[in-house]
Amino acid sequence: MKKLTQLMILPLLIWSMVSCQAPVKKVATETTAISVTANVPEWSKNAVMYEVNVRQYTPEGTFKAFETHLPRLKELGVDILWFMPIYPISEKNRKGKLGSYYSIRDYKAVNPEFGTMDDFKALVSKAHEMGFKVMLDWVGNHSGWDNQWIMDHKDWYTQDAKGNVIPPNPDWSDVADLNYDNKGLRKGMLDALKFWVKDIQVDGYRCDYAGGVPTDFWESARASLDSIKPVYMLAENQDQMDLLNKAFNVNYGWAFHHLMNEVAQGKKTALDIDSSLVRTERTYQVGTYSLQFLTNHDENSNAGTEFERMGNAVKTMAVLSFTVPGMPLIYTGQEIGMKKKLLFFEKDQIDWSNLEMQQFYQKLIKLKKDEVALWNGTAGGKLSILQTSVPAKIMAFTREKDNNQVIAVFNMSAEPVEATIALPQAGDYQEYFSGELNKLDKGTSLKLDKWGYKIFVRK
């Protein structure tokens, strides 16, 4: 049984944040990590992920209604559909009218508000038919209070000195903490994970608060899932790098995300981005990388929209997130340039009438897929920082793989800047967004508008 004193080191975050970002275990660094052995599915090599918020996606908020958007998402170019939790939501201790997706009443059923299990099977089948991969959001650290497990297996839960089941921390009052010291709990959780892969044919999981679950459980679960079919695993964690050794392929790029916000707000500079990219290169082992994002369900509903956090730098940061190492993520509504925070515990409405950012993201996805240097993990090229004459404002880097080279230059300031970029070699390049052909010297001078960017592809 986990002790209450151990639990109190968990961060006291508002549960509306849903997915905790802080670690509860010793952080593994590049000096303590072991060899990476997690399987890497071939289809993930240049994939872009898309997070689906079923509740808010359509007026109906159902699987069938969402399915009508698949052709548009196929045209957008995304590959992996990550569905926020689709399971029945607990009613006991529920927050808000509809409750949190992350308070699970039954790990092997679907939320009746979204439809039936047959509806979801049909959606998965249709998505696969169209070439998508499907990932589910998995909540392994805690369940809802009216989950049958509490009634049948109280010992699967963390209890206080009086034998009362307790939440992970006081603020997370709508969920009960699971106890992985119990072998029965481990068996039950693994059985549920295997169900969705074997019976429903999902292709992997995004694991909520992955650091709250013992690494050895994730490693064992990954081996069991891979024995059914090769899966792709995303950890909502960036502090415990050992999760990437055998269990997960990718983790959250929280640090880079927050840095992009700070640069857009004038709190940090291009030099800080350079330092971050160098640090990341030293931290992540070969074959592993982070998920890069401007927003997601947590950020949108709590920290604000990308436009509130990044202002005029939104497109700049989007281009950056698609060109640095890592897999890009697009969250529900980014393609319309959504400028509102979606309610989390209630029904909200998304207006899809104006897809003003669809073509922008479509072009970024095409760049990602066409240029092998920008692919994910070992399929792509390493990043090298280029020197500039105005390093606090202008950042530049190159990525190369085989005969493919991409040079990215960004003005990370709110004023126009002219700077000299030290290129590794002179040559003929095409600027991706304008289509203009450029002959660039080793010391080439460029003018960039405020928050301007240029992506050059060697021809």
| pLDDT tens-digit readout, 80-100 | 999 999 999 999 999 999 999
Residue range 118-134, pLDDT digits in tens: 999 999 999 999 999 99
Residue type, 17: M
Q: Tell whether the model's pLDDT for residue 350 goes beyond 50.
A: yes
Comparing CA positions, the residue from 51, 459, 35, 55 lying closest to residue 295 is 51
Q: Tell whether the model's pLDDT for residue 391 goes beyond 50.
A: yes
Q: Tell whether the model's pLDDT for residue 20 goes beyond 90.
A: no
Whole-number pLDDT of residue 8: 35
Whole-number pLDDT of residue 16: 35
- Say yes or no: 277 and 423 in one domain: no
- Say yes or no: 363 and 434 in one domain: no
Range of the domain at 107: 4-381
- Say yes or no: 255 and 374 in one domain: yes
Tell me which of 361, 381, 401 is where a domain ends.
381
Q: pTM of the predicted model, to two decimals?
A: 0.92
- Say yes or no: 272 and 415 in one domain: no
Whole-number pLDDT of residue 344: 96
- Say yes or no: 402 and 374 in one domain: no
Whole-number pLDDT of residue 35: 62
- Say yes or no: 192 and 60 in one domain: yes
Comparing CA positions, the residue from 152, 162, 212 lying closest to residue 185 is 152
CATH of the domain at 136: 3.20.20.80
Distance CA 316, CA 330 (A): 15
Within 8 A by CB and 6+ apart from 96, the residues are 344, 345, 346
- Say yes or no: 283 and 422 in one domain: no
Number of domains the chain contains = 2
- Say yes or no: 293 and 409 in one domain: no
Q: Tell whether the model's pLDDT for residue 30 goes beyond 70.
A: no
When pLDDT is cut at 50, 70 and 90, the band that residue 38 belongs to is: confident
Q: Specify the length of the chain in residues.
A: 459
What would the mean pLDDT of 310-315 be, rounded to a whole number? 98
- Say yes or no: 197 and 340 in one domain: yes
Per the model's pLDDT, the better-predicted residue between 13 and 419 turns out to be 419
Rounded to whole angstroms, the maximal C-alpha distance in the chain is 75
Q: Tell whether the model's pLDDT for residue 247 goes beyond 60.
A: yes
- Say yes or no: 210 and 317 in one domain: yes
Q: Kindly list the distances between the CA atom of residue 273 and the CA atoms of 66, 283, 329, 414, in Å, as whole numbers in the listed order.
A: 37, 15, 19, 16
The residues that bridge with 252 in the sheet, in sequence order, are: 291
What would the mean pLDDT of 368-388 be, rounded to a whole number? 97
Average pLDDT of the chain? 92
Q: Tell whether the model's pLDDT for residue 3 goes beyond 60.
A: no
When pLDDT is cut at 50, 70 and 90, the band that residue 373 belongs to is: very high
Q: Tell whether the model's pLDDT for residue 324 goes beyond 50.
A: yes
Whole-number pLDDT of residue 17: 36
Instruction: Give φ, ψ of 52 to 5 degrees.
Output: -105, 120
Whole-number pLDDT of residue 18: 37
- Say yes or no: 123 and 201 in one domain: yes
